[in-house]
């Protein structure tokens, strides 16, 4: 009889190996479920090839097996119980192996969501689909035992988890036990221990060390490893053995019992390291530096596997063979392109390096040292920040990293976005001996993001960097898109710059609580711009939840950042290097930049953009392309956030004069972006001086002018009367 198996988390490390083992059997049909889109080439995680980060590819044979008809995949959020009922009802599985889980460092809310709520939803869906007889294996972790004195760890022991991840796994076991009892479901729990195997994540020992050893062998990294406690012991089990164990449990596990999925062998980390060094066949000695332990790093564990052994399980793959396969996996990663015949034309392919994710998660800044250590192990890390953000957050981050992060602090304010400051930072990085594998972390507003990004783009021809933006403007705008720059000595904004995309963008809404009201409003201005560029939900949020936004309420700001960042990402996707200069995202910026320079940077970037948006809207009304009703909503929304600030007539006149320089730089076309409604814009190649002058007059009259300034602009003649 053909078995029909649902595997959740099917594109993760264990999921992929389980699917592969099942496809190798021939009598199984599989439906994979998970949050990520269908992908037949890679795991969901990334890994390093030297200092390049890439999606972890599936081994070629596994890829080939996925192509067959017996495997299907559907992206689905498991908490969507109704959706699950439908999918399970259609597929009618005979068994389910649930492997979808959160990452260890996620915040508690997300851990509970992915580890507890999703598992509960799965059991509810089984009842909803009338599939009570389906056998269920719920993936859990050996971490539930914590630092137990009893060794080997027996399944009838009550756990004492020491980190939040394992705590939520224990809670998941408890909650699903109650649900299974209530509905008479056939559930077993599989406590997976330390898995080892090809393609594994670098958060785990074997993956992390194999990545570094192969990088050392290729000369891409100094022969140095940073590791935790070498005397600790672990129960390592090969992922392919674990996959077989899961399948055994799906068919023969006794409902109601928890099973350890492990090898039952205790191995010292030092011995595992020696194995890896041996199979990596290095010809240089490797120095090992000890780093602080994580909470989850209990000194010792080994599992009692009597229960699963009684079902006929014996681990077949020796640890030395696992180590060999993990190293071989790295060796088989796509090689450099082969050299061409001597007379062939030389093709130069320039491609974007790879994708990066924008993460919005409360408390990320608190977790920054742990996150950096997990995602960028063994890298020299420099943190660039400004003086104010240093006092608020940077100092604590660096203190918690216990010497692993070098701080580089610049004075707050746009004046630091200068060529001199950029050069001084390059000098400091050099003094700190940051090499090409080094990582720069930009912690701050748009100033730090632009300046630090340009440093990262130019230092040693480009090093990796992560943006941790701390202003609203930077979170949904400046930190995304890879535009990095400093201003010219003569004042032109962003004159010296590059495109250099970050490796990741990590946004923490909590840090926005300390942001001055003026900076919050400046960030809202850019969000209004994005809303006008086709994001009605964002426009609505800004209109209806202005009080929460103004109070920097984290959940509302998190939603705002997500909506605005997603829209920006969608608009940038077809053109990551902004070849097309007529971008709609320039709305409010042409005049805004000129005004900012005119003010000698006393005006916030977002404030200047708000003025630009208001003027562009007035142009739209005057041209008859923006209905007055929509324009009034845009003006009212700006006013709700005290935008734009009062601008003097002289400053406005000076900004208009500067537009001629911009026209010149753009080949005599201004490419002015004009709103045509509350969520639509169009680009007009030109806009007349008189037309602009009238629009500026309208905005000055509507929002107030701050009186005539003492100094007028410096270039050309005024464009308005
Ligand atoms: N690269 C891009 O795509 C892009 C897009 C938009 C803007 N920008 C650039 O960004 C810069 C403006 O960015 P900005 O408005 O974020 O300015 P900013 O970086 O100067 O920050 C504004 C002020 O807020 C302080 N601050 C930052 N985070 C804080 C926090 N959490 N709590 C309290 N205070 C905090 C800073 O110290 C500073 O005094 C401009 O140079 C602009 O050109 C770049």
CATH of the domain at 260: 3.40.50.720
Same domain membership, residue 425 and residue 291: no
| DSSP SS3 for 414 | helix
- Would you say the CB of residue 450 lies under 6 angstroms from ligand 1? yes
194-247 residue pLDDT tens = 999 999 998 889 999 999 899 888 877 778 887 888 889 999 999 999 999 999
The pLDDT-based confidence of 664 (bands split at 50, 70, 90) is: low
Point out the domain boundary residue: 312, 331, 350: 331
Residue-level pLDDT at 659? 82
Q: How far is the CA of 26 from the centre of ligand 1 (A)?
A: 58
Query: How far is it, in rounded angstroms, from Cα 564 to Cα 122?
Result: 32
Q: How far is the CA of 519 from the centre of ligand 1 (A)?
A: 8
Mean of pLDDT values over 189-197: 97
- Decide if pLDDT at 192 tops 70: yes
> What percentage of residues in the chain have a pLDDT greater than 90?
66
Query: How far is it, in rounded angstroms, from Cα 595 to Cα 97?
Result: 60
Same domain membership, residue 282 and residue 431: no
Query: How far is it, in rounded angstroms, from Cα 480 to Cα 494?
Result: 16
Same domain membership, residue 209 and residue 162: yes
- Would you say the CB of residue 417 lies under 6 angstroms from ligand 1? yes
- Would you say the CB of residue 443 lies under 6 angstroms from ligand 1? no
Q: 346 burial class (0-12, 13-18, 19+ CB within 10 angstroms)?
A: exposed
- Would you say the CB of residue 389 lies under 6 angstroms from ligand 1? yes
Q: Give 51-57 contacts, CB < 8 A, sequence gap 24+.
A: 51/215, 51/220, 51/221, 51/436, 51/437, 51/464, 52/353, 53/353, 53/354, 53/464, 53/503, 54/333, 54/354, 55/354, 56/199, 56/201, 57/199, 57/333, 57/334
Which phi and psi (to 5°) does residue 357 adopt? -110, 145
Are 453 and 478 a contacting pair, CB within 8 Å?
Answer: no
CATH of the domain at 493: 3.40.50.1970
Mean of pLDDT values over 54-59: 87
Same domain membership, residue 222 and residue 147: yes
Q: Mean pLDDT across the chain, nearest whole number? A: 88
Same domain membership, residue 219 and residue 137: yes
Same domain membership, residue 407 and residue 273: no
Residue 640 falls inside a structural domain: no
For ligand 1, atom 18, the nearest C-alpha belongs to: 445
The pLDDT-based confidence of 293 (bands split at 50, 70, 90) is: low
Q: State which residues form the domain around 179.
A: 3-331
Q: How far is the CA of 484 from the centre of ligand 1 (A)?
A: 13
> Which of 72, 120, 24, 96 is closest to 250 using CA atoms?
96
The more confident residue out of 49 and 69 is 69
The pLDDT-based confidence of 469 (bands split at 50, 70, 90) is: very high
Query: How far is it, in rounded angstroms, from Cα 478 to Cα 392?
Result: 20
Same domain membership, residue 439 and residue 317: no
Point out the domain boundary residue: 515, 535, 559: 515
Residue-level pLDDT at 47? 84
What tokens does 668 get? 């005599």
Residue 553 falls inside a structural domain: no
Residue 321 falls inside a structural domain: yes
Same domain membership, residue 367 and residue 218: no
Buried b (16+ CB within 10 A) or exposed e, 350-380: eeeeeebebebbbbbbbbbbbbbbbbbbbbb
| DSSP SS3 for 635 | helix
| Best residue among 391, 446, 511 to mutate for probing ligand 1, ranked by most atoms within 8 Å of CB | 446
- Would you say the CB of residue 471 lies under 6 angstroms from ligand 1? yes
Same domain membership, residue 135 and residue 35: yes
Same domain membership, residue 126 and residue 244: yes
Query: Residue 333: enclosing H or E segment and its boundaries?
Result: none
Residue 31 falls inside a structural domain: yes
Are 533 and 585 a contacting pair, CB within 8 Å?
Answer: yes
Predicted TM-score of the model (pTM): 0.55
Residue 613 falls inside a structural domain: no
576-633 residue pLDDT tens = 565 554 578 889 998 998 898 888 878 999 999 999 999 999 999 999 999 999 999 9
Instruction: List residues bridging with 190 in a β-sheet.
Output: 139, 259
- Decide if pLDDT at 168 tops 50: yes
Q: How far is the CA of 214 from the centre of ligand 1 (A)?
A: 40
> What percentage of residues in the chain have a pLDDT greater than 70?
91
Q: How far is the CA of 445 from the centre of ligand 1 (A)?
A: 3
Are 144 and 170 a contacting pair, CB within 8 Å?
Answer: yes
Same domain membership, residue 458 and residue 415: yes
> Which of 390, 380, 464, 485 is closest to 430 using CA atoms?
380
Residue 589 falls inside a structural domain: no
How many of the other CB atoms lie within 10 Å of CB of 427? 10
> Which of 382, 381, 383, 410 is closest to 394 using CA atoms?
383
Report the range of poorest mean pLDDT among 57-66, 160-169, 327-336, 528-537: 327-336
- Decide if pLDDT at 709 tops 80: no
> How many domains, the chain?
2
What tokens does 573 get? 């996707």
Point out the domain boundary residue: 331, 347, 368: 331
Residue 529 falls inside a structural domain: no
Same domain membership, residue 369 and residue 223: no
Residue 162 falls inside a structural domain: yes
Q: How far is the CA of 612 from the centre of ligand 1 (A)?
A: 18
Report the range of poorest mean pLDDT among 57-61, 75-79, 109-113, 216-220: 216-220
The pLDDT-based confidence of 298 (bands split at 50, 70, 90) is: confident
- Decide if pLDDT at 258 tops 70: yes
Q: Give 417-420 contacts, CB < 8 A, sequence gap 24+.
A: 417/447, 417/450, 417/451, 417/485, 417/486, 417/487, 418/486, 418/487, 418/489, 419/486, 419/488, 419/489, 419/496
């Amino acid at each position: 009889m053909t078995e029909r198996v649902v595997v959740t988390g099917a594109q993760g490390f264990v999921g992929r190996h389980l699917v592969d083992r099942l496809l190798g059997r021939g009598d199984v049909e599989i439906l994979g479920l998970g949050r990520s889109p269908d992908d037949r080439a890679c795991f969901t995680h990334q890994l390093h090839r030297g200092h390049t980060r890439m999606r972890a590819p599936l081994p070629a044979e596994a890829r080939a097996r996925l192509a067959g008809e017996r495997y299907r995949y559907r992206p689905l959020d498991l908490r969507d119980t109704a959706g699950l009922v439908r999918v399970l009802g259609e597929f009618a599985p005979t068994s389910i192996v649930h492997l979808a889980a959160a990452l260890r460092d996620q915040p508690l809310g997300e851990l509970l969501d992915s580890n507890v709520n999703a598992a509960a939803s799965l059991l509810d869906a089984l009842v909803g689909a009338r599939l009570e007889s389906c056998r269920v294996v719920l993936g859990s972790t050996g971490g539930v035992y914590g630092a137990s004195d009893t060794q080997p760890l027996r399944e009838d022991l009550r756990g004492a988890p020491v980190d939040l991840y394992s705590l939520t796994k224990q809670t998941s076991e408890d909650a699903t036990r109650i649900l299974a009892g209530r509905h008479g479901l056939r559930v077993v729990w599989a406590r997976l221990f330390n898995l080892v195997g090809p393609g594994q994540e670098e958060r785990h020992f074997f993956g992390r060390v194999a990545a570094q050893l192969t990088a050392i062998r290729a000369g891409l990294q100094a022969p140095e490893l940073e590791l935790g406690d070498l005397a600790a012991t672990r129960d390592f089990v090969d992922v392919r053995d674990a996959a077989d164990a899961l399948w055994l449990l799906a068919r023969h596990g006794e409902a109601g019992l928890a099973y350890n999925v492990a090898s039952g062998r205790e191995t010292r980390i030092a011995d595992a390291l020696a194995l890896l060094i041996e199979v990596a066949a290095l010809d240089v000695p490797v120095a090992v530096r000890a780093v602080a332990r994580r909470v989850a790093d209990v000194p010792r564990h080994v599992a009692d596997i009597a229960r699963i052994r009684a079902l006929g399980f014996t681990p077949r793959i020796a640890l030395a063979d696992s180590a060999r396969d993990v190293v071989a996996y790295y060796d088989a990663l796509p090689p450099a392109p082969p050299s061409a015949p001597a007379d062939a034309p030389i093709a130069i392919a320039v491609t974007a390096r790879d994708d990066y994710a924008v993460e919005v998660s409360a408390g990320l800044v608190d977790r920054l040292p742990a996150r950096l250590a997990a995602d960028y192990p063994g890298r020299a890390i420099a943190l660039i920040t400004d003086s104010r953000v240093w006092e608020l957050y940077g100092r604590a981050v660096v203190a918690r990293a216990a010497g692993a992060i070098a701080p580089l602090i610049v004075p707050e304010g746009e004046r630091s976005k200068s060529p001199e400051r950029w050069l001084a930072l390059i000098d400091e990085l050099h003094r700190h001996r940051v090499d090409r594998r080094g990582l720069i972390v930009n912690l701050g507003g748009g100033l730090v993001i632009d300046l630090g990004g340009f440093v990262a783009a130019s230092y040693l021809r480009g090093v990796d960097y992560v943006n941790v933006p701390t202003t609203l403007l930077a979170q949904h705008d400046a930190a995304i898109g890879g535009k990095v720059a400093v201003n010219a000595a003569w004042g032109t904004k962003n004159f010296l710059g590059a495109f250099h995309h970050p490796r990741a963008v990590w946004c923490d809404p909590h840090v926005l609580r300390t942001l001055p009201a003026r900076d919050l409003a400046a960030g809202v201005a850019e969000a209004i711009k994005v809303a006008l560029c086709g994001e009605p939900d964002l426009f609505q949020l800004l209109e209806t939840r202005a009080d929460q936004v103004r109070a920097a309420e984290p959940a509302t700001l998190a939603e705002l950042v997500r909506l605005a960042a997603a829209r920006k990402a969608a608009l940038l996707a077809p053109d990551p290097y902004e070849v097309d200069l007529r971008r709609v995202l320039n709305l409010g910026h042409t005049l805004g930049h000129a005004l900012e320079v005119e003010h000698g940077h006393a005006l916030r970037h977002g404030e200047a953009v708000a003025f630009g948006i208001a003027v562009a809207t007035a142009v739209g009304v005057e041209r008859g392309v923006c209905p007055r009703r929509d324009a009034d909503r845009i003006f009212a929304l700006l006013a709700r956030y005290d935008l734009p600030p009062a601008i003097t007539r002289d400053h406005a006149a000076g900004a208009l004069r500067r537009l001629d320089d911009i026209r010149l730089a753009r080949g005599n076309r201004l490419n002015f972006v004009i709103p045509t409604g509350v969520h639509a814009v169009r680009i007009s190649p030109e806009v007349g001086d008189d037309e602009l002058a009238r629009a500026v007059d309208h905005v000055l009259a509507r929002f107030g002018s701050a009186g005539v300034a003492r100094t007028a602009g410096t270039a050309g003649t005024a464009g308005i009367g």
